[in-house]
Structure 1
Amino acid sequence: MEYVNKIKEYYEILTKSEKKVADYILSQGEKLIYTTMGEVKAQTGVGDATIVRFCQKIGYSGFSELKIDIAKEDFSQMKEQEQVADLFEHAARQLVTAIDETKHSFEMDKIDEVSQLIVSARHVYIYGVGASGQSGLDLERMLIKVGIPSTAIIDSHYQAQSATIVTPQDVVIVFSLSGKTKDTFDTVKIAKDKGANIVVITSYGLSPIAQLADVVLKTAIEEHLLNGGSLAGRISQLFLSDVLVRNIEDKFATGKEDLRAEVLRSVMNKMI
């Protein structure tokens, strides 16, 4: 790998602190793609300036460019492996794996806890950007069909505005596979400060956004930096959403029957 060769080439001229960064990066490999500079600082005990200096010494403008280079190499390897296998089989296997691994990550007590929060809420706000935003829109439709007042917002500016008016009687559900999207983090922090109940649906339970949650529901898909918004990621989110709404219908939807009937009638009236 090119970045490994660069580190080895310049290793002897690095300072003691820079060598700590080099050793950590070599130990992490492609996992560094999902690592923040703050995490590198915590693991190595060095400052921002040392990390940036290290990156520049080995030929990168900064930490972000190093991560992009690692991601490009890792993505190229993935594509080479895909070409060996049958393309359709590989795609199908990814989707099946997304559902299977997400199923194994379920904690039913947390599904019940979130279900209870949702049915007791004054209103449910759902936030996500990019592909995760589309999953939020799908969950909004599912909840409205079972009589739960819900609003999905996928514009980051509008999310921040709406977060200022949430109350402790509201639930905020957040979709973020990485748990590191800055705009989403900023919005969730506003909602948290307002006292709303925060539910985060993510693949990374220790991510910055997950740290703000009252309850974390785990998906089991690691998205590649150059392949964000993958169908497998969306499938894992939709599968979890479907299980959540089915659980609400099965255990917690008492008293919502009239509202659900109204929703059904509104759809039937659209048929010719």
Structure 2
Amino acid sequence: MTNDVKESFSADSPPAPAALAAKVRTLAPSMTRSMQRVAEAVAGDPAGCAALTVTGLAELTGTSEATVVRTARLLGYPGYRDLRLALAGLAAHQQSGRAPAVTADIAVDDPIADVVTKLAYDEQQTLADTAAGLDTVQLGAAVAAAATARRIDVYGVGASSLVGQDLAQKLLRIGLIAHAHTDPHLAVTNAVQLRSGDVAIAITHSGSTGDVIEPLRVAFDRGATTIAITGRPDGPVTQYADHILTTSTARESELRPAAMSSRTSQLLVVDCLFIGVAQRTYETAAPALSASYEALAHRHTPRSR
């Protein structure tokens, strides 16, 4: 993990208790296995871990006191004492019913009613985690860059390409020049044309999708402002990102791959980015949006003969 990423997750004030579970889910995949054990323990039983000393938690997880302290710092807390306070707060939230425990994975023989309930909860949790972990300073900077951009290119493949297309068409409807590129060769050849004053946005949950990283790197080298929307704030894509917007995901399971849960959080970030841009460009965005509605309404109205 780069120093910049470490600093972005080590703010002057520790994250609120409600954001702790979101940080664990976001950062756990990039942790060492021993740190993952600590993170999983505190997220799974915040009340029990809040009652433990640093030595007790190290013994419970089969790790060392140093590992416990490093995990606390990676999660954004100055030390273990601050993490314990957050755990106590999270436990209080759960006991009050405001932060229910994570539901079980969807089983192959679950009744469809249970599937609906579990998916709805996971979607809600994913959105809540993403909102809690989203850096609004980074978001504001991304909004400012996009609102004044000469041109906006968006890169994504697979499920992320659908999110990229959604963002591009939203921006087009408020009068901005935006293109979503799903072909990696076209993405790179278009990125070469970017310059200072343009914006390039890469969407990749893993943060390591080569077909998305390469055009972002080219755009970065050409002087464009670059934005990464990713679930891995320490992933390779962030090396070429001026602004990082972090997403969260529900737990992946056999019947619910990462592409499904990551799309939910990506769409939330995209909507936040779009609304911010629309607010900043309201004088031109509002008439453009009205014109697009009118054009579509006219198209859907049957013509009289």
Range of TM-score over shorter length: 0.5 to 0.7
Aligned pairs for 1:162-201 (under 5 A) are: 162-201=190-229
- Aligned partner of 1:236 among 256, 265, 290: 265
Question: One-letter code of the match for 2:106?
Answer: E
Q: 1:271, CA displacement in angstroms?
A: 2.2
Q: Unpaired runs of 5+ in structure 2?
A: 1-30, 38-103
**Change over 3 Å in CA distance of 1:152–1:26 after alignment to 2:** closer
Percent identity of paired positions between Structure 1 and Structure 2 = 23
Aligned to 1:108: 136
- Aligned partner of 1:94 among 86, 106, 122: 122
Aligned to 1:118: 146
TM-score of the pair, normalised by structure 2: 0.59
Question: What are the Cα deviations for residues 47-84 of structure 1, in whole angstroms up to 9, with x where unaligned?
Answer: xxxxxxxxxxxxxxxxxxxxxxxxxxxxxxxxx94328
> How far apart, CA to CA, are the structure 1 residues paired with 2:138 and 2:174?
20
Aligned residue for 1:173, secondary structure, equals strand
Q: Is the 8 A contact 1:143 1:245 kept in 2?
A: yes
Q: 1:246, CA displacement in angstroms?
A: 1.6
> How far apart, CA to CA, are the structure 2 residues paired with 1:225 and 1:194?
40
Say what the alpha-carbon RMSD is for the aligned residues: 3.0
Aligned to 2:293: 264
Q: 1:250, CA displacement in angstroms?
A: 2.6
Q: From the two aligned structures, give the one with the greater helix fraction.
A: 1
Q: 1:130, CA displacement in angstroms?
A: 0.4
> How far apart, CA to CA, are the structure 1 residues paired with 2:126 and 2:153?
25
Q: 1:242, CA displacement in angstroms?
A: 1.1
> How far apart, CA to CA, are the structure 2 residues paired with 1:170 and 1:186?
17
Question: What are the Cα deviations for residues 235-259 of structure 1, in whole angstroms up to 9, with x where unaligned?
Answer: 1111111122122223443344443
**Change over 3 Å in CA distance of 1:28–1:250 after alignment to 2:** same
Question: One-letter code of the match for 2:175?
Answer: G
Q: Is the 8 A contact 1:156 1:184 kept in 2?
A: yes
Q: Is the 8 A contact 2:154 2:164 kept in 1?
A: yes
Deviation larger for 231-240 or 104-113: 104-113
Aligned residue for 1:185, secondary structure, equals helix
Aligned residue for 1:152, secondary structure, equals strand
> How far apart, CA to CA, are the structure 2 residues paired with 1:178 and 1:155?
18
**Change over 3 Å in CA distance of 1:165–1:200 after alignment to 2:** same
> How far apart, CA to CA, are the structure 1 residues paired with 2:133 and 2:32?
29
**Change over 3 Å in CA distance of 1:137–1:229 after alignment to 2:** farther
Aligned residue for 2:232, secondary structure, equals coil
> How far apart, CA to CA, are the structure 2 residues paired with 1:149 and 1:163?
14
Q: Is the 8 A contact 1:177 1:222 kept in 2?
A: no
**Change over 3 Å in CA distance of 1:144–1:223 after alignment to 2:** farther
> How far apart, CA to CA, are the structure 2 residues paired with 1:234 and 1:270?
30
Q: Unpaired runs of 5+ in structure 1?
A: 1-23, 31-79
Q: 1:131, CA displacement in angstroms?
A: 0.3
Aligned to 1:82: 106
- Aligned partner of 2:249 among 211, 214, 221: 221
Aligned to 2:161: 133
Q: Is the 8 A contact 1:115 1:252 kept in 2?
A: no
> How far apart, CA to CA, are the structure 1 residues paired with 2:253 and 2:194?
32
Aligned to 2:27: none
> How far apart, CA to CA, are the structure 1 residues paired with 2:174 and 2:201?
17
**Change over 3 Å in CA distance of 1:26–1:217 after alignment to 2:** closer
> How far apart, CA to CA, are the structure 1 residues paired with 2:208 and 2:172?
28
